[in-house]
Amino acid sequence: MAEDCLFCAIVAGEVAVTKVREDDDTVAFTDVNPQAPVHILVVPKRHIADIAALGADPQASAALLHAIRGLVDAERLADFRTVFNTGAGAGQSVFHVHAHVLAGRPMAWPPG
Residues taking part in catalysis: 98
CA–CA gap between residue 2 and residue 87 (Å, rounded) = 18
Q: Least distance (Å) from Zn ion to the CB of residue 105?
A: 29
DSSP run (H or E) holding 103 = strand 99-103
Give how far Cα 53 sits from Cα of 4, 29, 33, 60, Å: 19, 22, 25, 10
Determine if 13 is a binding residue for ligand 5GP (CB under 6 A): no
Q: Site map for ligand 5GP, 50-89, x if CB under 6 A?
A: -----------------------------------x----
Tell which one of 39, 46, 47, 81 touches Zn ion (CB under 5 A).
Answer: 47
With CB under 5 to 8 Å by kind, the binding choice for 8 among Zn ion, ligand 5GP, none is Zn ion
CA–CA gap between residue 100 and residue 28 (Å, rounded) = 10
Task: Specify the residue, 15 or 107, whose C-beta has the smaller distance to ligand 5GP.
Answer: 15
For 11, residues 6+ apart whose C-beta sits below 8 A from its C-beta are 1, 27, 43, 45
With CB under 5 to 8 Å by kind, the binding choice for 51 among ligand 5GP, Zn ion, none is none
